[in-house]
Amino acid sequence: MNNWKNFVSEEWNRRIASRPQDPMKFPLIDQTFNAEEIVAVMDVVMSGQLTMAHNVREFEKVFASHVGAPYAVMVNSGSSANLLAFAAAANFQRKNHLNVGDEVLIPAVCWSTSVWPIFQMGLKPIFVDVDPMTLNVDIGDLEKKITSKTKALLAVHILGNSAPMLELMAVAKKNGLIVIEDTCESLGSLADKKYLGTHGAFGTYSFYYSHHMTTGEGGMVVCQTQEDYDLLKCLRAHGWSRELSNKQELEKKYSDVDPRFLFVNMGYNVRPMEIQAALGLCQLKKLNEMNSNRVFNQNALVNAIQSHKKWDHQFEFIKAAPGTDPVWFGFCGLLNQKYANRRQQFLTYLSSAGVENRPIVSGNFVRQPALQGLGLDLKPENFPGAERIHKNGFFIGLHTNKLTDAQLNRLADVFLSFEF
């Protein structure tokens, strides 16, 4: 290793070692990167090539191979990945595209930027209830809400658990629906022995700091066809022709326009940085081990709580959907229904004990005030599964390093020392 790389590694390790450690604190995520990533980032900075280039292309290639998708397009965030997937699905150049006014089925437990691209493309979201024990879409409710205007569905895989993809894909095929998978919280989870994100026409991923792997910010869209791949690359960067498979044909056709600035579609600028891709290349090599540790921690913590002397079914723990193999994003559960009115006190208690916590995503999204401003006036009580999650649900972090027995025992003590 070059001298500067040795110096950077040593300085990083020194700083990590000098950070104060508080065994009473349990944050949402532990340290997921080390000196390898720091050196890779510094190498990019000193190369002078900060904007999208060879690192991005290499990361796209290895990521597509890792999840088993034909094509992958990196963007600057998971939210941009959702935006780009819907923009491609609704683009006028796509042979089978969504049109303004088409309905898109979406689970009532989701993230904001799962919903907003539907509105941004002039489409109409139709919210579907969820199964509170898997957190994911209720197939029965979904089938009831299909109309002649329904043209797509968004599967949002919540906190590492999968939507029931075998049933979902059968419904989509029967009704001719375009399927987009929001896999931002579930990188590495399997359904029917395939990685989530690779079942539908598009799959999106997030590399935010607390997710299964990180590039700080960053995201990816995978797709199944050359047509969609070209669309994603074109829309990602201004609508220009630079990365298209028929680039030379287009340049010849429009020879009166400078080929460096030939715009053939609408577009955005959601390109990633080389730094993000350099981080991603390092993190992807560690993903299987980090995911394995998350699964270990999930199982070990459930066992520690349920074998504790104070265990009296105070919580219900989320179950894997049939035919799926989840890599849990967070340790999540529902308070027993008889303690539902104590949820906020319980979460405040966890925080006071140093255990960082969150609601399950954003709870029942139909309660969010922005929807009324966008013309939707929905009754939360019509989504009983989502309401149960909203009122009873919570999660804490699942770290990428295995928890020690001491950590597991302390967490179990904290959970069950609350005066229910």
What are the catalytic residues?
A: 211
Amino acid type, 68: G
CB atoms within 10 A of CB 249: 11
- The Cα-based distances of 287 to 33, 227, 414 in angstroms read 11, 30, 29
Taking the C-alpha atoms of residue 325 and residue 316, their distance in angstroms, rounded to an integer, is 19
Give the closest residue to 392 by CA, choosing from 135, 16, 25: 135
